[in-house]
Amino acid sequence: MDIDLSLVGMEKGQQYETIITTLDKEGNLNTAPIGVICKNKKEVLCRIFEGSNTLANIRNQRNFIINITLDPILFTLATIGNIPSEYFNIDLDNNLNSGFKTKSFKTDNSKIKSFKADNSKIKSFKADNSKINTKIPTLKNVDAYLICEVLDIKEAVKKSDPIRKSRAGLISSKVVEIVLNKDYVNAPNRGFYSLIESLVNFTRINFVEEDKQKYFLDRFVESKRIINKVGSKKDKEAINLLKKALENRGYNI
């Protein structure tokens, strides 16, 4: 079977939350949570802010790994710093230096070392014409990972971002290998979680004080924005149903 991102639950046009692992020029590993858009069955898009290590490493190395996981600890460690080396399939006898660096990442150019997933790996799908040999170590216990090769990087300024209007790199990549560590893999999408939060607040809004009601309505507006940006067709349909239900209860949104 060839590359097909539906194997990890990705659908065309949808954004999923992942952890991207990259290497810098010196062989230091970097981990960061990044949203990944499924462009088609074989390609993904990421919009990564200028100034981040991930963007610099992807520009430099032209390959990276997208990890699919629902593990809250991995996401948190990747957000507040870097995921420590013990979470990786790193050969500890292989001169592991400080941090993530191993000598083989720097010096072993001729014979590329490949770090395989642990024994839980059940299936791997490679693109037919794949020549890529990444040196990036893999994370243990992720549900799946995608080895990606950059096709193109464009400059982009995202004006609609609620946080900042900064320059970013729009990275278009092809997936050259999909490794599944589980039978059933579903990449997380913020739309569904936002919908669940909105539903919970809906069940509570009639029982709280006015200022808390306002807080719930503000949260609803933000959840609707997220769902419209990254949610599935059904998430969007669902949040519109909920909007009508709130309006029927007399709330102004």
Ligand X SMILES: Cc1cc2nc3c(=O)[nH]c(=O)nc-3n(C[C@H](O)[C@H](O)[C@H](O)COP(=O)(O)O)c2cc1C
**Could you list the residues that contact ligand X (CB under 6 A)?**
17, 30, 32-35, 47-49, 52-54, 79
CB nearer to ligand X: give 185 or 187. 187
Q: Give, in order, the Cα–Cα distances in Å from 129 to each of 2, 25, 43, 177, 252.
A: 10, 26, 14, 11, 55
206-214: long-range pairs with CB below 8 Å, 24+: 206/249, 213/251
Nearer to ligand X, 190 or 224 (CB): 190
**For ligand X, which is the closer residue by CB, 191 or 242?**
191
Closest CA to 45 of 156, 205, 172, 160: 172
- Minimum Å distance from CB 188 to ligand X? 9
Taking every pair of C-alpha atoms in the chain, what is the biggest distance, in angstroms?
A: 69
Which of 34/180 has CB closer to ligand X?
A: 34
Residue closer to ligand X by CB (options 171, 246) is 171
Query: In the complex, what is the shortest distance from the CB of residue 169 to ligand X, in angstroms, rounded to a whole number?
Result: 9
> What does the H/E/C string look like for 20-63?
EEEECCCCCEEEEEEEEEECCCCEEEEEEECCCHHHHHHHHHCE
- Distance (Å, whole) CA 129 – CA 151: 14
Give residue number: closest CB to ligand X.
54
> Cβ(180)–Cβ(144) under 8 Å?
yes
User: Among residues 108 and 197, whose Cβ is nearest to ligand X?
Assistant: 197
Taking only Cα atoms into account, the Rg of the chain, rounded to an integer number of angstroms, comes to: 20
State in angstroms the smallest separation of the CB of 107 from ligand X: 24
In whole angstroms, how close is the CB of 153 to ligand X at the nearest point?
A: 13
Shortest distance (Å) from residue 184 CB to ligand X = 22
Cβ contact 30:82 at 8 Å: yes
Shortest distance (Å) from residue 2 CB to ligand X: 27
Tokens of 61: 């190395």
Rounded to a whole number of angstroms, the minimum distance from the CB of residue 15 to ligand X is: 8
Residue with Cβ nearer ligand X (169 or 242): 169
CA atoms within 13 A on the CB side of 16: 25
